Chain A
């Protein structure tokens, strides 16, 4: 057997009740690390309303 992992049970014997929970959260694999060409600011960006609250980068 290679592995018993993350809220798992291997049992040789009798049991009454088993409850197993596992939550796993991982980032999407679409994250690309590499050279990116930054886009210039949109036309009339200074006049746009509410843009200063927008998240920067990411």
Chain B
């Protein structure tokens, strides 16, 4: 039984200061309330033995990680659906001091304020490609594999 005390269903965030040095790659910094946030990033980091101009493009479609379905949470059955959340905010303010952040990156978010729903997705693949003495015809298309390097005699 909750006490009959002050209840503030909507709280206000109060931040003394915010300093961010770097904010990159689908990231969001927001001061204020928002209903829904959706951020996503796909990254393919290719480290190659030969230069990128000679090696050609690499394609997201060639790698499973970018097509893999997202894991889903099992929906609770009707009998188990007994969780009831009740909250009571005794203070109408969330007050913090200064926030110093060096970097925000990769579909990340900094939010000062209330939010309803946030979804963020990050898919990063790192690959290394070595020059291999294989005829170009046998290279699988679209993998961005390095072409033949002319071997010095």
Q: Which residues of A contact B (CB under 8 A)?
A: 1-27, 31, 56-58
Residue of B nearest to A58 (CB): B132
Q: List 20 A-B contacts (CB under 8 A).
A: A4-B27, A4-B108, A6-B105, A7-B107, A8-B120, A9-B120, A10-B109, A13-B13, A13-B33, A13-B112, A14-B10, A14-B11, A15-B118, A16-B115, A18-B117, A20-B121, A21-B120, A22-B121, A24-B124, A25-B63
Assuming the contacts A3-B105, A25-B124, asked whether A13 and B114 have C-beta atoms less than 8 A apart, the reply is yes
Assuming the contacts A4-B110, A11-B111, asked whether A21 and B70 have C-beta atoms less than 8 A apart, the reply is yes
Cβ B112 vs Cβ A5 within 8 A: no
Find chain B residues with CB under 8 A from A57 CB: 132-134
Cβ A13 vs Cβ B94 within 8 A: yes
Chain B 49-85 near chain A by CB (<8 Å), digits 1 or 0:
0000000000000010100101100000000000000
B99 within 8 A of partner (CB) = yes
Quote the shortest CB–CB distance from A19 to chain B (angstroms). 5
Q: Which residues of B contact A (CB under 8 A)?
A: 10-11, 13, 15, 27, 33, 39, 41, 63, 65, 68, 70-71, 89, 94, 96, 99-128, 132-134, 138
Find chain B residues with CB under 8 A from A4 CB: 27, 101, 103-105, 108-110
Cβ A10 vs Cβ B113 within 8 A: no
Residue of A nearest to B101 (CB): A1
Cβ A6 vs Cβ B13 within 8 A: no
Cβ A2 vs Cβ B109 within 8 A: no
Whole-angstrom CA separation of A40 from B129 in the bound complex: 24
Query: Which one, A3, A25, A58, contacts B101 given CB within 8 A?
Result: A3
Quote the shortest CB–CB distance from A17 to chain B (angstroms). 5
